[in-house]
Structure 1
Protein backbone atom coordinates (compact mmCIF):
# COMPACT_ATOMS: atom_id res chain seq x y z
CA UNK A 1 0.00 0.00 0.00
CA UNK A 2 1.46 3.34 -1.08
CA UNK A 3 2.36 5.67 1.77
CA UNK A 4 0.26 8.80 2.09
CA UNK A 5 3.50 10.78 2.03
CA UNK A 6 4.21 9.34 -1.41
CA UNK A 7 0.75 9.65 -2.95
CA UNK A 8 1.18 13.40 -3.33
CA UNK A 9 4.00 12.81 -5.79
CA UNK A 10 1.51 11.10 -8.12
CA UNK A 11 -0.92 14.00 -8.02
CA UNK A 12 1.36 17.02 -8.02
CA UNK A 13 4.75 17.29 -9.70
CA UNK A 14 5.33 20.56 -7.84
CA UNK A 15 5.65 18.44 -4.70
CA UNK A 16 8.76 16.74 -6.08
CA UNK A 17 12.03 18.03 -4.65
CA UNK A 18 13.52 20.22 -7.39
CA UNK A 19 16.48 18.69 -9.19
CA UNK A 20 19.32 21.18 -9.54
CA UNK A 21 21.14 20.40 -12.78
CA UNK A 22 18.19 18.57 -14.25
CA UNK A 23 16.21 21.80 -14.53
CA UNK A 24 18.78 23.60 -16.64
CA UNK A 25 17.62 24.16 -20.19
CA UNK A 26 19.79 22.97 -23.04
CA UNK A 27 21.26 25.83 -25.02
CA UNK A 28 22.42 23.68 -27.91
CA UNK A 29 20.97 24.44 -31.33
CA UNK A 30 18.29 22.18 -32.77
CA UNK A 31 19.85 21.13 -36.06
CA UNK A 32 16.64 19.45 -37.21
CA UNK A 33 14.67 22.70 -37.36
CA UNK A 34 16.29 24.06 -40.57
CA UNK A 35 16.82 27.39 -38.85
CA UNK A 36 19.95 29.44 -39.38
CA UNK A 37 22.37 29.70 -36.51
CA UNK A 38 22.54 33.21 -35.07
CA UNK A 39 25.89 34.20 -33.65
CA UNK A 40 25.70 35.02 -29.96
CA UNK A 41 27.91 36.95 -27.63
CA UNK A 42 31.29 35.45 -26.82
CA UNK A 43 30.94 32.77 -24.18
CA UNK A 44 33.17 32.29 -21.19
CA UNK A 45 35.10 28.99 -21.11
CA UNK A 46 32.71 27.74 -18.42
CA UNK A 47 29.64 28.61 -20.49
CA UNK A 48 31.10 26.97 -23.59
CA UNK A 49 32.02 23.85 -21.60
CA UNK A 50 28.45 23.56 -20.32
CA UNK A 51 27.10 24.04 -23.84
CA UNK A 52 29.37 21.30 -25.18
CA UNK A 53 28.32 18.94 -22.40
CA UNK A 54 24.64 19.58 -23.07
CA UNK A 55 25.09 19.05 -26.80
CA UNK A 56 27.03 15.84 -26.18
CA UNK A 57 24.24 14.50 -23.95
CA UNK A 58 21.69 15.27 -26.65
CA UNK A 59 23.66 13.53 -29.40
CA UNK A 60 24.86 10.56 -27.33
CA UNK A 61 21.34 9.84 -26.10
CA UNK A 62 20.22 9.30 -29.70
CA UNK A 63 23.30 8.03 -31.54
CA UNK A 64 25.39 6.47 -28.79
CA UNK A 65 29.16 6.69 -28.70
CA UNK A 66 29.79 4.64 -31.83
CA UNK A 67 27.34 6.69 -33.88
CA UNK A 68 28.41 10.10 -32.60
CA UNK A 69 31.04 12.23 -34.31
CA UNK A 70 32.65 15.40 -33.03
CA UNK A 71 31.24 17.11 -36.10
CA UNK A 72 27.77 16.31 -34.69
CA UNK A 73 28.68 18.18 -31.51
CA UNK A 74 30.13 21.12 -33.44
CA UNK A 75 26.99 21.30 -35.57
CA UNK A 76 24.78 21.32 -32.49
CA UNK A 77 26.41 24.42 -31.07
CA UNK A 78 27.26 26.19 -34.31
CA UNK A 79 31.05 26.05 -34.32
CA UNK A 80 33.60 24.22 -36.44
CA UNK A 81 35.04 20.88 -35.44
CA UNK A 82 38.48 22.54 -35.32
CA UNK A 83 37.16 25.10 -32.83
CA UNK A 84 35.75 22.28 -30.70
CA UNK A 85 39.29 20.98 -30.13
CA UNK A 86 40.04 24.16 -28.18
CA UNK A 87 37.80 22.74 -25.46
CA UNK A 88 38.21 18.95 -25.68
CA UNK A 89 41.07 16.65 -26.59
CA UNK A 90 39.21 13.72 -28.13
CA UNK A 91 35.89 11.94 -28.53
CA UNK A 92 36.84 9.63 -25.65
CA UNK A 93 37.61 12.57 -23.35
CA UNK A 94 34.21 14.06 -24.15
CA UNK A 95 32.51 10.79 -23.24
CA UNK A 96 34.35 10.57 -19.91
CA UNK A 97 33.42 14.18 -19.11
CA UNK A 98 29.74 13.54 -19.82
CA UNK A 99 29.71 10.45 -17.60
CA UNK A 100 31.58 12.07 -14.71
CA UNK A 101 29.78 15.42 -14.81
CA UNK A 102 26.33 14.45 -15.97
CA UNK A 103 25.09 11.27 -14.32
CA UNK A 104 26.53 10.10 -10.99
CA UNK A 105 27.17 13.58 -9.64
CA UNK A 106 27.34 15.07 -6.14
CA UNK A 107 24.12 16.90 -6.99
CA UNK A 108 22.36 13.60 -7.68
CA UNK A 109 23.78 12.03 -4.51
CA UNK A 110 22.62 14.97 -2.41
CA UNK A 111 19.16 14.95 -3.99
CA UNK A 112 18.66 11.23 -3.42
CA UNK A 113 19.79 11.36 0.21
CA UNK A 114 18.35 14.69 1.38
CA UNK A 115 14.70 13.77 1.92
CA UNK A 116 15.47 10.15 2.87
CA UNK A 117 17.16 11.46 6.04
CA UNK A 118 15.84 12.02 9.51
CA UNK A 119 17.62 13.16 12.68
CA UNK A 120 16.27 11.43 15.78
CA UNK A 121 15.92 13.03 19.20
CA UNK A 122 19.43 11.89 20.15
CA UNK A 123 20.95 13.57 17.11
CA UNK A 124 21.56 10.42 15.06
CA UNK A 125 21.22 10.99 11.29
CA UNK A 126 19.70 7.88 9.69
CA UNK A 127 18.38 7.09 6.22
CA UNK A 128 15.32 5.25 4.88
CA UNK A 129 16.18 3.04 1.91
CA UNK A 130 12.72 2.81 0.24
CA UNK A 131 12.51 6.62 0.17
CA UNK A 132 16.08 6.83 -1.14
CA UNK A 133 15.08 4.59 -4.06
CA UNK A 134 11.97 6.67 -4.70
CA UNK A 135 14.12 9.80 -4.80
CA UNK A 136 16.24 8.29 -7.57
CA UNK A 137 13.07 7.77 -9.61
CA UNK A 138 11.86 11.34 -8.93
CA UNK A 139 15.25 12.72 -9.91
CA UNK A 140 15.43 10.72 -13.12
CA UNK A 141 11.90 11.73 -14.10
CA UNK A 142 13.27 15.27 -14.30
CA UNK A 143 16.11 14.32 -16.66
CA UNK A 144 14.78 11.80 -19.22
CA UNK A 145 17.43 12.72 -21.81
CA UNK A 146 20.19 11.84 -19.34
CA UNK A 147 18.49 8.54 -18.50
CA UNK A 148 18.28 7.74 -22.20
CA UNK A 149 21.98 8.53 -22.59
CA UNK A 150 22.83 6.26 -19.67
CA UNK A 151 20.72 3.44 -21.07
CA UNK A 152 22.20 3.80 -24.55
CA UNK A 153 25.79 3.80 -23.30
CA UNK A 154 25.18 1.01 -20.80
CA UNK A 155 24.08 -1.26 -23.63
CA UNK A 156 26.95 -0.26 -25.91
CA UNK A 157 29.49 -0.71 -23.14
CA UNK A 158 28.82 -4.44 -22.94
CA UNK A 159 31.47 -4.52 -25.65
CA UNK A 160 34.87 -4.71 -23.88
CA UNK A 161 36.27 -2.42 -26.59
CA UNK A 162 33.94 0.40 -25.60
CA UNK A 163 35.75 3.23 -23.78
CA UNK A 164 33.07 3.25 -21.05
CA UNK A 165 33.19 -0.52 -20.49
CA UNK A 166 35.14 -0.30 -17.22
CA UNK A 167 33.00 2.60 -16.03
CA UNK A 168 29.78 0.60 -16.32
CA UNK A 169 31.25 -2.71 -15.15
CA UNK A 170 32.45 -1.09 -11.91
CA UNK A 171 29.58 1.32 -11.37
CA UNK A 172 27.38 -0.94 -9.24
CA UNK A 173 30.12 -1.66 -6.71
CA UNK A 174 31.26 1.98 -6.66
CA UNK A 175 27.74 3.06 -5.82
CA UNK A 176 27.40 0.28 -3.26
CA UNK A 177 30.48 1.57 -1.44
CA UNK A 178 28.70 4.86 -0.93
CA UNK A 179 25.34 3.31 -0.04
CA UNK A 180 27.00 0.84 2.31
CA UNK A 181 28.65 3.68 4.21
CA UNK A 182 25.32 5.35 5.05
CA UNK A 183 23.45 4.66 8.30
CA UNK A 184 20.26 2.88 7.19
CA UNK A 185 17.34 2.12 9.47
CA UNK A 186 16.12 -1.36 8.50
CA UNK A 187 13.68 -4.02 9.70
CA UNK A 188 14.91 -6.94 11.75
CA UNK A 189 16.65 -9.66 9.82
CA UNK A 190 18.79 -7.46 7.58
CA UNK A 191 22.53 -7.88 7.80
CA UNK A 192 25.01 -6.35 5.34
CA UNK A 193 24.84 -9.27 2.91
CA UNK A 194 21.05 -9.30 2.78
CA UNK A 195 20.91 -5.53 2.39
CA UNK A 196 23.39 -5.73 -0.49
CA UNK A 197 21.10 -8.22 -2.23
CA UNK A 198 18.12 -5.91 -1.66
CA UNK A 199 20.09 -2.95 -3.01
CA UNK A 200 21.07 -4.97 -6.10
CA UNK A 201 17.46 -6.06 -6.63
CA UNK A 202 16.14 -2.50 -6.32
CA UNK A 203 18.71 -0.99 -8.71
CA UNK A 204 18.22 -3.79 -11.24
CA UNK A 205 14.45 -3.38 -11.10
CA UNK A 206 14.83 0.36 -11.55
CA UNK A 207 17.09 0.01 -14.58
CA UNK A 208 14.71 -2.46 -16.21
CA UNK A 209 11.68 -0.28 -15.53
CA UNK A 210 13.44 2.77 -16.92
CA UNK A 211 14.17 0.88 -20.16
CA UNK A 212 10.44 0.18 -20.50
CA UNK A 213 9.60 3.80 -19.72
CA UNK A 214 11.97 5.10 -22.39
CA UNK A 215 10.66 2.67 -25.00
CA UNK A 216 6.94 2.89 -24.21
CA UNK A 217 5.47 6.30 -23.43
CA UNK A 218 2.37 4.68 -21.98
CA UNK A 219 4.44 3.47 -19.01
CA UNK A 220 4.05 5.68 -15.95
CA UNK A 221 7.45 5.33 -14.29
CA UNK A 222 6.36 6.66 -10.92
CA UNK A 223 3.20 4.56 -10.67
CA UNK A 224 5.07 1.43 -11.70
CA UNK A 225 7.84 2.08 -9.20
CA UNK A 226 5.39 2.54 -6.34
CA UNK A 227 3.84 -0.81 -7.28
CA UNK A 228 7.32 -2.34 -7.21
CA UNK A 229 7.80 -0.88 -3.74
CA UNK A 230 4.75 -2.76 -2.49
CA UNK A 231 6.52 -5.99 -3.50
CA UNK A 232 10.05 -5.13 -2.36
CA UNK A 233 9.09 -3.27 0.83
CA UNK A 234 5.81 -4.87 2.00
CA UNK A 235 4.00 -2.95 4.70
CA UNK A 236 3.84 -5.96 7.04
CA UNK A 237 7.64 -5.96 7.28
CA UNK A 238 8.63 -2.41 6.38
CA UNK A 239 6.04 -0.25 8.16
CA UNK A 240 8.00 2.42 10.01
CA UNK A 241 11.11 1.83 7.90
CA UNK A 242 10.06 3.31 4.54
CA UNK A 243 10.00 7.08 4.89
CA UNK A 244 11.13 9.75 7.39
CA UNK A 245 7.48 10.77 7.76
CA UNK A 246 6.91 7.49 9.62
CA UNK A 247 9.31 8.45 12.40
CA UNK A 248 7.52 9.01 15.71
CA UNK A 249 10.00 10.46 18.24
CA UNK A 250 7.57 9.93 21.11
CA UNK A 251 7.47 6.18 20.41
CA UNK A 252 11.10 5.60 19.44
CA UNK A 253 13.28 8.55 20.45
CA UNK A 254 16.54 6.89 19.38
CA UNK A 255 16.73 5.13 16.00
CA UNK A 256 20.35 4.09 16.30
CA UNK A 257 19.63 0.52 17.56
CA UNK A 258 17.47 -0.06 14.46
CA UNK A 259 20.27 0.72 12.02
CA UNK A 260 22.38 -1.69 10.05
CA UNK A 261 25.59 -0.13 11.34
CA UNK A 262 24.55 -0.70 14.94
CA UNK A 263 23.76 -4.35 14.24
CA UNK A 264 27.00 -4.92 12.38
CA UNK A 265 29.03 -3.40 15.20
CA UNK A 266 27.24 -5.29 17.98
Structure 2
Protein backbone atom coordinates (compact mmCIF):
# COMPACT_ATOMS: atom_id res chain seq x y z
CA UNK A 1 0.00 0.00 0.00
CA UNK A 2 1.61 3.26 -1.17
CA UNK A 3 2.46 5.78 1.53
CA UNK A 4 -0.14 8.56 1.50
CA UNK A 5 2.59 11.23 1.26
CA UNK A 6 3.77 9.71 -2.04
CA UNK A 7 0.40 9.68 -3.81
CA UNK A 8 0.54 13.36 -4.68
CA UNK A 9 3.73 12.85 -6.69
CA UNK A 10 1.81 10.88 -9.33
CA UNK A 11 -0.41 13.77 -10.37
CA UNK A 12 1.37 16.91 -9.29
CA UNK A 13 4.97 17.52 -10.31
CA UNK A 14 5.02 20.74 -8.32
CA UNK A 15 4.90 18.59 -5.18
CA UNK A 16 8.21 16.93 -6.04
CA UNK A 17 11.05 17.78 -3.65
CA UNK A 18 12.41 21.16 -4.63
CA UNK A 19 15.98 20.85 -3.36
CA UNK A 20 18.54 21.79 -5.99
CA UNK A 21 16.01 22.04 -8.83
CA UNK A 22 16.92 25.70 -9.16
CA UNK A 23 20.38 25.55 -7.62
CA UNK A 24 22.58 27.88 -9.62
CA UNK A 25 25.55 25.53 -9.71
CA UNK A 26 23.67 22.26 -10.21
CA UNK A 27 25.57 21.14 -13.29
CA UNK A 28 23.58 17.94 -13.57
CA UNK A 29 20.35 19.85 -14.09
CA UNK A 30 21.91 22.29 -16.55
CA UNK A 31 23.29 19.58 -18.82
CA UNK A 32 19.78 18.28 -19.58
CA UNK A 33 17.67 21.40 -19.27
CA UNK A 34 17.68 22.31 -22.95
CA UNK A 35 19.57 25.55 -22.33
CA UNK A 36 20.30 27.44 -25.53
CA UNK A 37 23.11 29.91 -26.00
CA UNK A 38 22.65 33.22 -27.77
CA UNK A 39 25.09 33.88 -30.57
CA UNK A 40 27.87 36.13 -29.43
CA UNK A 41 31.45 36.86 -30.40
CA UNK A 42 32.95 34.97 -27.51
CA UNK A 43 31.57 32.74 -24.78
CA UNK A 44 33.00 32.75 -21.32
CA UNK A 45 35.00 29.61 -20.42
CA UNK A 46 32.17 28.57 -18.09
CA UNK A 47 29.54 28.90 -20.80
CA UNK A 48 31.64 26.97 -23.32
CA UNK A 49 32.32 24.27 -20.74
CA UNK A 50 28.61 23.88 -20.09
CA UNK A 51 27.84 23.83 -23.81
CA UNK A 52 30.40 21.08 -24.38
CA UNK A 53 28.92 19.13 -21.47
CA UNK A 54 25.43 19.37 -22.96
CA UNK A 55 26.68 18.25 -26.35
CA UNK A 56 28.60 15.32 -24.84
CA UNK A 57 25.54 14.13 -22.93
CA UNK A 58 23.38 14.28 -26.06
CA UNK A 59 25.88 12.54 -28.34
CA UNK A 60 27.07 9.85 -25.91
CA UNK A 61 23.50 9.05 -24.83
CA UNK A 62 22.71 8.37 -28.48
CA UNK A 63 25.91 6.85 -29.85
CA UNK A 64 27.78 5.65 -26.79
CA UNK A 65 31.43 6.36 -26.08
CA UNK A 66 32.71 3.99 -28.75
CA UNK A 67 30.47 5.51 -31.42
CA UNK A 68 31.12 9.13 -30.48
CA UNK A 69 33.82 11.28 -32.03
CA UNK A 70 35.05 14.70 -31.06
CA UNK A 71 33.90 15.83 -34.49
CA UNK A 72 30.36 14.90 -33.38
CA UNK A 73 30.72 17.17 -30.36
CA UNK A 74 32.10 20.00 -32.48
CA UNK A 75 29.23 19.62 -34.95
CA UNK A 76 26.69 19.65 -32.12
CA UNK A 77 27.87 23.04 -30.86
CA UNK A 78 28.78 24.54 -34.22
CA UNK A 79 32.54 24.85 -34.02
CA UNK A 80 35.43 23.09 -35.74
CA UNK A 81 37.10 20.07 -34.21
CA UNK A 82 40.32 22.07 -34.08
CA UNK A 83 38.56 24.74 -32.01
CA UNK A 84 37.19 22.07 -29.68
CA UNK A 85 40.76 21.04 -28.83
CA UNK A 86 41.20 24.39 -27.13
CA UNK A 87 38.79 23.12 -24.45
CA UNK A 88 39.17 19.34 -24.41
CA UNK A 89 42.20 17.22 -25.24
CA UNK A 90 40.71 13.79 -25.89
CA UNK A 91 37.59 11.63 -25.85
CA UNK A 92 38.70 10.15 -22.53
CA UNK A 93 39.01 13.56 -20.94
CA UNK A 94 35.52 14.45 -22.17
CA UNK A 95 34.13 11.21 -20.75
CA UNK A 96 35.77 11.82 -17.38
CA UNK A 97 34.29 15.31 -17.31
CA UNK A 98 30.79 13.99 -17.97
CA UNK A 99 31.08 11.29 -15.31
CA UNK A 100 32.60 13.59 -12.69
CA UNK A 101 30.28 16.54 -13.20
CA UNK A 102 27.13 15.07 -14.65
CA UNK A 103 25.78 12.08 -12.75
CA UNK A 104 26.71 11.34 -9.14
CA UNK A 105 26.93 14.95 -7.99
CA UNK A 106 26.56 16.70 -4.63
CA UNK A 107 23.38 18.26 -6.01
CA UNK A 108 21.90 14.83 -6.68
CA UNK A 109 22.87 13.67 -3.18
CA UNK A 110 21.27 16.77 -1.66
CA UNK A 111 18.08 16.27 -3.63
CA UNK A 112 17.75 12.59 -2.73
CA UNK A 113 18.38 13.17 0.98
CA UNK A 114 16.53 16.45 1.42
CA UNK A 115 12.99 15.21 2.08
CA UNK A 116 13.86 11.69 3.18
CA UNK A 117 14.93 12.95 6.61
CA UNK A 118 13.20 14.07 9.78
CA UNK A 119 14.24 15.44 13.14
CA UNK A 120 12.67 13.54 16.02
CA UNK A 121 11.38 15.15 19.19
CA UNK A 122 14.90 15.08 20.66
CA UNK A 123 16.42 16.77 17.61
CA UNK A 124 18.10 13.71 16.12
CA UNK A 125 18.26 13.82 12.31
CA UNK A 126 17.34 10.44 10.81
CA UNK A 127 16.67 9.18 7.27
CA UNK A 128 14.02 6.94 5.70
CA UNK A 129 15.41 4.69 2.98
CA UNK A 130 12.19 3.93 1.04
CA UNK A 131 11.56 7.67 0.65
CA UNK A 132 15.18 8.16 -0.39
CA UNK A 133 14.58 5.68 -3.22
CA UNK A 134 11.44 7.56 -4.28
CA UNK A 135 13.51 10.75 -4.41
CA UNK A 136 16.07 9.06 -6.70
CA UNK A 137 13.22 8.27 -9.10
CA UNK A 138 11.81 11.80 -8.89
CA UNK A 139 15.25 13.26 -9.60
CA UNK A 140 15.91 10.98 -12.56
CA UNK A 141 12.52 11.78 -14.05
CA UNK A 142 13.85 15.32 -14.48
CA UNK A 143 16.90 14.20 -16.48
CA UNK A 144 15.97 11.37 -18.88
CA UNK A 145 18.84 12.13 -21.25
CA UNK A 146 21.31 11.77 -18.39
CA UNK A 147 19.72 8.46 -17.38
CA UNK A 148 20.04 7.27 -20.98
CA UNK A 149 23.70 8.32 -20.98
CA UNK A 150 24.27 6.31 -17.80
CA UNK A 151 22.50 3.26 -19.24
CA UNK A 152 24.48 3.44 -22.47
CA UNK A 153 27.84 3.78 -20.72
CA UNK A 154 27.02 1.15 -18.11
CA UNK A 155 26.45 -1.41 -20.85
CA UNK A 156 29.56 -0.43 -22.81
CA UNK A 157 31.71 -0.44 -19.68
CA UNK A 158 31.22 -4.17 -19.20
CA UNK A 159 34.22 -4.35 -21.52
CA UNK A 160 37.35 -4.10 -19.34
CA UNK A 161 38.96 -2.02 -22.10
CA UNK A 162 36.37 0.71 -21.75
CA UNK A 163 37.76 3.83 -20.02
CA UNK A 164 34.72 3.93 -17.70
CA UNK A 165 35.03 0.27 -16.68
CA UNK A 166 36.55 0.94 -13.27
CA UNK A 167 34.08 3.79 -12.62
CA UNK A 168 31.05 1.54 -13.10
CA UNK A 169 32.53 -1.54 -11.45
CA UNK A 170 33.23 0.46 -8.29
CA UNK A 171 30.14 2.68 -8.32
CA UNK A 172 27.87 0.40 -6.30
CA UNK A 173 30.29 0.14 -3.40
CA UNK A 174 31.20 3.84 -3.56
CA UNK A 175 27.54 4.73 -3.22
CA UNK A 176 27.14 2.19 -0.44
CA UNK A 177 29.87 3.93 1.54
CA UNK A 178 27.79 7.09 1.46
CA UNK A 179 24.52 5.28 2.21
CA UNK A 180 26.14 3.39 5.06
CA UNK A 181 27.30 6.63 6.67
CA UNK A 182 23.76 8.02 6.97
CA UNK A 183 21.58 7.59 10.04
CA UNK A 184 18.74 5.37 8.76
CA UNK A 185 15.76 4.28 10.83
CA UNK A 186 15.07 0.63 10.04
CA UNK A 187 12.64 -2.08 11.14
CA UNK A 188 13.67 -4.66 13.73
CA UNK A 189 16.02 -7.29 12.41
CA UNK A 190 17.95 -5.07 10.01
CA UNK A 191 21.68 -5.08 10.62
CA UNK A 192 24.29 -3.68 8.24
CA UNK A 193 24.46 -6.86 6.16
CA UNK A 194 20.72 -7.08 5.68
CA UNK A 195 20.45 -3.38 4.90
CA UNK A 196 23.19 -3.78 2.27
CA UNK A 197 21.12 -6.54 0.67
CA UNK A 198 18.00 -4.35 0.53
CA UNK A 199 20.07 -1.48 -0.85
CA UNK A 200 21.45 -3.76 -3.58
CA UNK A 201 18.00 -5.10 -4.39
CA UNK A 202 16.44 -1.62 -4.59
CA UNK A 203 19.18 -0.14 -6.79
CA UNK A 204 19.22 -3.16 -9.10
CA UNK A 205 15.44 -3.04 -9.46
CA UNK A 206 15.61 0.69 -10.15
CA UNK A 207 18.24 0.25 -12.86
CA UNK A 208 16.18 -2.44 -14.56
CA UNK A 209 13.00 -0.38 -14.37
CA UNK A 210 14.77 2.65 -15.80
CA UNK A 211 15.93 0.60 -18.79
CA UNK A 212 12.30 -0.34 -19.48
CA UNK A 213 11.25 3.28 -19.09
CA UNK A 214 13.87 4.47 -21.57
CA UNK A 215 12.86 1.84 -24.12
CA UNK A 216 9.08 2.01 -23.70
CA UNK A 217 7.46 5.43 -23.31
CA UNK A 218 4.25 3.82 -22.07
CA UNK A 219 6.02 2.91 -18.82
CA UNK A 220 5.24 5.31 -15.98
CA UNK A 221 8.50 5.21 -14.04
CA UNK A 222 7.15 6.70 -10.83
CA UNK A 223 3.98 4.61 -10.80
CA UNK A 224 5.97 1.44 -11.42
CA UNK A 225 8.49 2.29 -8.71
CA UNK A 226 5.77 2.87 -6.13
CA UNK A 227 4.41 -0.59 -6.97
CA UNK A 228 7.93 -2.01 -6.60
CA UNK A 229 8.22 -0.30 -3.23
CA UNK A 230 5.20 -2.20 -1.97
CA UNK A 231 7.11 -5.43 -2.67
CA UNK A 232 10.59 -4.35 -1.55
CA UNK A 233 9.39 -2.49 1.55
CA UNK A 234 6.16 -4.31 2.55
CA UNK A 235 3.85 -2.40 4.82
CA UNK A 236 3.67 -5.13 7.46
CA UNK A 237 7.44 -4.77 8.00
CA UNK A 238 8.20 -1.18 7.00
CA UNK A 239 5.17 0.79 8.25
CA UNK A 240 6.57 3.72 10.21
CA UNK A 241 9.96 3.40 8.51
CA UNK A 242 9.11 4.46 4.96
CA UNK A 243 8.62 8.22 5.03
CA UNK A 244 9.20 11.11 7.47
CA UNK A 245 5.45 11.79 7.42
CA UNK A 246 4.95 8.53 9.31
CA UNK A 247 6.84 9.83 12.33
CA UNK A 248 4.63 10.54 15.33
CA UNK A 249 6.31 12.80 17.91
CA UNK A 250 4.36 10.91 20.56
CA UNK A 251 6.50 7.88 19.80
CA UNK A 252 9.55 9.67 21.18
CA UNK A 253 13.21 9.38 20.25
CA UNK A 254 14.11 7.56 17.03
CA UNK A 255 17.79 7.14 17.74
CA UNK A 256 17.46 3.59 19.14
CA UNK A 257 15.78 2.55 15.87
CA UNK A 258 18.72 3.61 13.70
CA UNK A 259 21.24 1.27 12.16
CA UNK A 260 24.14 3.21 13.65
CA UNK A 261 22.80 2.70 17.17
CA UNK A 262 22.39 -1.03 16.58
CA UNK A 263 25.92 -1.36 15.26
CA UNK A 264 27.51 0.29 18.31
The answer to whether the 8 A contact 1:2-1:230 is kept is: yes
Q: How far apart, CA to CA, are the structure 2 residues paired with 1:176 and 1:224?
A: 24
2:143 corresponding residue in structure 1: 143
Matched positions, count: 256
User: Post-superposition shift, 1:23?
Assistant: 4.7
Q: How far apart, CA to CA, are the structure 1 residues paired with 2:11 and 2:109?
A: 25
Q: Given the two structures, how large is their TM-score scaled by the length of structure 1?
A: 0.93
Q: Deviations over 1:202-236 (max 9, x none)?
A: 00000000000000011110010000000011111
Task: Compute the RMSD of aligned alpha carbons.
Answer: 1.3
The answer to whether the 8 A contact 1:26-1:55 is kept is: no
Q: Deviations over 1:161-209 (max 9, x none)?
A: 0000000000000000000000000000000000000000000000000
Mapping of 1:60-139 within 5 angstroms? 60-139=60-139
User: Post-superposition shift, 1:122?
Assistant: 1.2
1:26 corresponding residue in structure 2: 34
Structure 2 unaligned blocks of 5 or more:
none
User: Post-superposition shift, 1:28?
Assistant: 6.0
Structure 1 unaligned blocks of 5 or more:
30-37
2:47 corresponding residue in structure 1: 47
1:211 equivalent in alignment to 2:219: no
Q: Given the two structures, how large is their TM-score scaled by the length of structure 2?
A: 0.94
Q: How far apart, CA to CA, are the structure 1 residues paired with 2:35 and 2:60?
A: 16
Q: Deviations over 1:114-168 (max 9, x none)?
A: 1001011211110000000000000000000000000000000000000000000
Q: How far apart, CA to CA, are the structure 2 residues paired with 1:65 and 1:28?
A: 24
